[in-house]
Structure 1
Amino acid sequence: MKVRFAIADDAPFLRELIKNILNSQGCVCVGEAGNGEEAIRLVQETLPDVIFLDMVMPVRNGLETARAIKELHPEVKIIGCSTVDNVELIQQAHDAGFDSYLTKPFTREQVIQELSKVLPQQGESSHGRT
């Protein structure tokens, strides 16, 4: 089984960048969202293994969105993506349910490394769907 991922970021070019990096690794994108509300709906509809979640988005920010996702689906891994590189904010992100955190700009290798951290058995979906 392939890793199923979703991306929530209000910047379309960043969604495309992450999608291209992970698709090249054999992962499958199950959807994209441009704000926090869309991200929560997307997770409920597709149950990805992992979601890449921006911290600063319209409607609901990353912290609010992560709390809602973890409440509904605690098994879904969350990798935060933000230009904010603040120790206090990163701690708040982990407290809200983020499993990992990437600071923008990031490299291809960093994206792959963070995915491997949160899903050590990369290549296997925890939800049994392709």
Structure 2
Amino acid sequence: MIEAELKARVPDREALVQLLDKLTAGRPEIYRDTYYDTAERALEARDAELRIRTVETADGTARTVLTYKSAAVDAASGSKPEHETEVVGADAAHAVVRGLGYVPVIAFALPELRRGREGPADARHGRPGPGDRRYVR
């Protein structure tokens, strides 16, 4: 799958939120993302990403997804071929990735208010990008 994202400047965020509230109910979720790379940054050097994301919902359930994104297919959109699978057990997934020699290079948790589409969409509301190498976990 190649994911394409639409990004737009919103001059009045509150007005947009009110409009969306009229159209559909939001589902509060917390995205806990950890990006991995080798100590030598081999993935970054080829514009690839390895991520473990745990999505926690308001009802206390969580799902964890392992994602590998290869290099962008075109510079204009930045769209990357994406390979993703749901895994059981976030701790085990982190242990496997670390056991393969990858190290966490950035980790963060962000609240999201998901509307409509099911599944882990990556709506980067101020989210640090792969080039930002702060580790906050």
Same fold (TM > 0.5) = no
Higher fraction of helix: 1
Q: Output the TM-score relative to the length of structure 1.
A: 0.31
Q: Output the TM-score relative to the length of structure 2.
A: 0.30
Q: Which has the larger radius of gyration?
A: 2
